[in-house]
Structure 1
Amino acid sequence: MKIYLVGGAVRDRLLDYPVSEQDWLVVGATVGEMLERGYRQVGKDFPVFLHPETQEEYALARTERKTAPGYRGFSINADSDVSLEEDLLRRDLTINAMAIGDDGELIDPFNGRSDLQQRVLRHVSPAFGEDPVRILRVARFAARYAHLGFVVAEETRQLMQDMVTGGEANHLVPERVWAELYKALSERSPAAFIRTLQDCHALPTIFPEIHALFGVPQPAKYHPEIDTGVHSLMAVSQAALLSDKPEVRLAALLHDLGKAVTDPDKWPSHHGHERLGLPVLERFCERLRVPKAIKGLCAQVMEYHTLCHRAFELRADTLTDMLQALGAFKPATQLQDFLLACEADATGRTGFEQAPYPQAAYIRAAVEAALAEDTRTVMQPGLKGPQIGQAIKSMRRQAINNFKQHYSRNLSIRHA
């Protein structure tokens, strides 16, 4: 029985990149022997165990044989005679097919270290084409390492494209797509995830709503980049600079889905795209089983981002209504995430990347002014239910109106 450190921990150690977790590979052991040593089996599809003390994952070396379409269509062999090289051969990328033994020696049968040095994402063998999830994984690694200069090898991109053409990507299950998207949104360069899927022609199959944005024009006066798809990738890139939250980045990526369903005869104008996009977002979230809270934030950004940009122009009642709809006056509000996504939209435009976004501070100050009012003073005898809510809303509207007037006076004084 021999144990090797494998996968991401080896890759990131060689890259001098932060190592978040360690995976171990066991060669020459059986399930029974692992259980006798106190390991606890947790793998459903193949033998994976938790170490009795460290709780790190230990997997038996295995080989796979394709038996049906999709990522579940495999027959697994984890017998004790499976070698280290046989296990590494079934892995996706050469940079993930390295191991380190207990003597510290690097085992690298497929030149993964060279590809790390050359900054190349390259598949190990033609078996890559048997698992559609690997299309998503390559795109996610592109998002993870794009800032280091990593690119997908041309032969790997072509293989991914052949998988799409052959229909293999059609077998991806929603839960796995969402899991990979969420991880990609957590990486440093999430736009690279979408670009990689676009390059191998997988985007129309996996994310048709996002694919539909490319080629849709916008007014050059406000969007010098013109293309809505390009703008969406710029917005998610800006969101990645502003927040490490995947939900903020997703909201920025999806905020303009409605521009793909406006009347083409009226392009580049997209009047009403904010609400037109809501059913598209609903289908996207329903298909991928997006968690309710994340879906809610995306819907808020989609519906109200234009009003947020125009915050200084809004009347007190319109601003109050928007803040009420956003839940800005509740303790568990997502207002900060909403404002960050809106800022990413505003700065995700050619030439506007460094532009300030004073609307965010203005809206936060308006909320503070409204919350400073003592709502207990509206509790008059005879008021019930909706009447109380309306009285509180009127009080907050007046407070925001007073705030606006005070803000305008100060602005006039500063400009005098």
Structure 2
Amino acid sequence: MDIYLVGGAVRDTLLNYPVVERDWVVVGAQPDELLRQGYLQVGKDFPVFLHPQTKDEYALARTERKQGHGYTGFAVDCDPSITLEEDLLRRDLTINAMAMHTDGNIIDPYGGQDDLKHRVLRHVSDAYAEDPLRVLRTARFAARYAHLQFTVAPETINLMADIVKQGELAHLPAERVWVELEKALGERNPEVFIKVLRDCGALEKLLPEVEALFGVPQSAEHHPEVDTGLHILMAIQQAVALSADTDVRFAVLLHDLGKGTTPQTEWPRHIAHEERGGKLVEQVCNRLRAPRRHTELARTTCQYHTLCHRALELRGKTVLTLLNATDALRRPDRFEAFLLACEADARGRLGLEDRDYPQANYLRQALAAAQDVSAKQFKESGLTGKPMGDAIAAERIRVLEQLRPS
């Protein structure tokens, strides 16, 4: 049997890009041969094995035949007669359809090296259309390698659009959509993921609430870029500069959803968009089955980001209301994530990308001042229950009033 390094490890090696994991394909072998050598079989739909020492994944060379909808409806053939070229043909992009022999020789039957050279993401064959998950994966690769000037080939965008038109995205489990979305949010340019999904019509199917923001105007006085969708893309870019956490970037993606439901007669103003947006955030998170951490931060950011922007003009009582509403006293780490999301929103505006955001530091100081007021000092006065709670709140308001900018 012959063993080859395949897929992402070969691609990233040729790009001089960090190799995160190594996958291998085994040609000309039966499952029993690997089991006798100590490999552990883990695959259910087709034979995949873990190496006894490295724990890398080794899969038997295979072909696939579409039998149903979605990304799991395949009949798999792992006969030992299947060639490496046949195995590579079923892969998504040419840059992922290369193999490297143990002697270092590159096997590249579908032009992956040429597409690496020209920075193109191109599908290997029409079999690409059999797996709708590849629409999201291709958009994610575009986000990962955008800083290297990679773009999606026009013919691949067209094929992705055909998959969307055929309704195949509807058969993707919510969990798989979420996995791809979160991975994309963790890339260097997650805004490119959104752009590519828009280009092929997939954003309207997967995140119609975000798609609805494009073409919606905002006041040019506060948003020189005007278009709300463009603002979202710019804000995500700023979120990347501020935080590597996907919950912060997800919150930025959803923070202005309410503006997509503003009646056109009210444009470019968006009164009460925070309240309307909160319901849409819940809708998106429920549909994607987003983790609680992401959901809570997205909800908080949507509802309170404009109040955060006004922090320097708020009275002490309102600042305390904001701290309580965001659960800052009990969960300061999440409050810090909230501040970062709000800062990304403020900086995600044309020509204002480098503007200072003093509101964040002011609210950090406000939180520290409020935390310094504890129950201990009131217990000595014999206060308990609600009277003590009221006394603590009053003292916090007093110190927050003293902290206000003059």
- If the length of structure 2 is used for normalisation, what is the TM-score? 0.97
Which residue pairs with 1:411 in the alignment?
Answer: none
Asked if the contact 2:99–2:107 (Cα under 8 Å) also holds between the matched residues in 1, the reply is: yes
Give the structure 2 partner of residue 381 of structure 1: 382
Q: Once the two structures are aligned, what percentage of the paired residues are identical? A: 56
User: Take 2:94 and 2:75, find their aligned partners in 1: how far apart are those partners?
Assistant: 22
Partner Cα separation in structure 2 for residue 135 and residue 111 of structure 1: 20
Contact 2:239 / 2:249 at 8 angstroms: preserved in 1?
Answer: yes
Distance in 1, matches of 2:395 and 2:224, equals: 42
Query: Aligned equivalents of 1:223 and 1:382: distance in 2?
Result: 50
Which residue of structure 1 lines up, in the alignment, with residue 237 of structure 2? 237
Residue 44 of structure 2 aligns with an amino acid whose one-letter code is K
AA aligned opposite 2:20: S
Residue type at the aligned position of 1:204: E
Residues matched between the structures, number? 405
Matches within 5 A, 1:118-157: 118-157=118-157
- Quick check: 1:361 aligned with 2:361? yes
1:32 aligns with 2:10: no
Q: Which amino acid aligns with 2:37?
A: R
Describe how 1:333-348 pairs up with structure 2 within 5 A: 333-348=333-348
- Residue 206 of structure 1: aligned partner: 206
Deviation at 1:393, TM superposition (A): 2.3
Equivalent position amino acid for 2:293 in 1: A
Q: For 2:222 and 2:92, locate their aligned partners in 1 and report how far apart those are by CA, in whole Å.
A: 43
User: 2:45 and 2:284 mapped to 1: Cα distance?
Assistant: 29
Partner residue, 1:277: 277
**Per-residue CA distance 1:339-390 (angstroms, 9 max, x = gap):** 1110110000101111111111111011111222343112243522x44433
Q: Secondary structure at the match of 1:80?
A: coil
Give 1:221 deviation, angstroms.
0.6
**Structure 2 equivalent of residue 290 of structure 1:** 290
Query: In 1, distance between residues paired with 2:197 and 2:206?
Result: 8
Which residue of the partner structure matches residue 44 of structure 1?
44
Alpha-carbon shift at residue 332 of structure 1 (Å) = 5.4
Give 1:224's aligned residue. Answer: 224
**Kept after mapping to 2: 8 A contact 1:41/1:49:** yes
CA distance in 2 between partners of 1:387 and 1:49 (Å) = 65
Alpha carbons of structure 1 residues 286 and 387: separation in structure 2 relative to 1, 3 Å: farther
> What is the one-letter code of the residue matched to 2:209?
E
SS at match of 2:356: coil
Kept in 1, the 8 Å contact 2:147–2:189? The answer is yes
**Deviations along 1:296-339, whole A, 9 cap, x unmatched?**
00111101100111110001000111011112112553111111
Letter in 1 for 2:95: I
The CA distance in 1 between the partners of 2:299 and 2:45, in whole Å, is: 37
1-side partners of 2:147 and 2:220: how far apart? 29
Q: Deviations over 1:261-316 (max 9, x none)?
A: 12321111101101111111111000100001110001111011001111100010
CA distance in 2, matches of 1:217, 1:328: 33
Whole-angstrom CA distance in 1 between matches of 2:304 and 2:371: 21
Q: Is the 8 A contact 2:374 2:392 kept in 1?
A: no
Q: Residue 412 of structure 1 aligns with which residue?
A: none
RMSD of aligned Cα (Å): 1.2
Counterpart mapping for 1:154-169 below 5 A: 154-169=154-169
CA distance in 2, matches of 1:31, 1:387: 72
Residue 201 of structure 1 aligns with an amino acid whose one-letter code is: G
State the AA in 2 paired with 1:179.
V
List gaps (5 residues or longer) in structure 2.
none
Q: Which residue of 2 aligns with 1:414?
A: none
What residue is the counterpart of 2:175 in the other structure?
A: 175
Alpha-carbon deviations, 1:41-90, whole Å to 9, x = none? 12222211111111111111111000111111110111222111111000
Tell me the distance in 1 between the aligned counterparts of 2:46 and 2:113.
28
> Residue 78 of structure 2 aligns with which residue?
78
Give the secondary structure class of the aligned counterpart of 1:240. helix
Structure 1 equivalent of residue 246 of structure 2: 246
> What is the alpha-carbon distance in structure 1 between the residues aligned to residue 309 and residue 101 of structure 2?
56
Query: Is residue 2:266 matched to residue 1:266?
Result: yes
Mapped contact 1:142–1:151 kept (Cα < 8 A):
yes
Q: Distance in 1 between matches of 2:27 and 2:164?
A: 34
Q: Distance in 2 between matches of 1:17 and 1:113?
A: 14
- 1:132–1:387 Cα change, 3 Å: farther
2:144–2:187 contact (8 Å) kept in structure 1: yes
Aligned to 2:320: 320
Equivalent in the alignment of 1:116: 116
Look up the equivalent residue of 1:57 and give its one-letter code.
E
- Residues 1:394 and 1:79: Cα distance change in structure 2 (over 3 Å): farther
Corresponding letter in the other structure for 1:381: G
- C-alpha deviation, 1:140, in angstroms: 0.2
Equivalent position SS for 1:333: helix
Contact 1:40–1:50, Cα closer than 8 Å, also in 2? yes
* 41-50 or 68-77, which deviates more: 41-50
Contact preservation (8 Å) 2:373, 2:392: no
Give 1:253's aligned amino acid. L
CA deviation vs aligned residue, 1:219-246 (integer Å, no higher than 9, x gap): 1111111111111111111101111111
- Structure 1 contact 327–333 (Cα < 8 Å) conserved: no
Give the conservation status (yes or no) of the 8 Å contact 1:214–1:229. Answer: yes
Asked if the contact 1:4/1:26 (under 8 Å) is kept, the reply is yes
Q: Provide the C-alpha distance between the structure 2 equivalents of 1:378 and 1:56, rounded to a whole number of angstroms.
A: 60
Contact 2:93 2:121 in 1 (8 A): yes
Q: Which moved more, 1:181-190 or 1:201-210?
A: 201-210
Give the deviation of 1:170 after TM superposition.
Answer: 2.0
Partner AA of 2:347 in structure 1 = T
SS in 2 for 1:76: strand
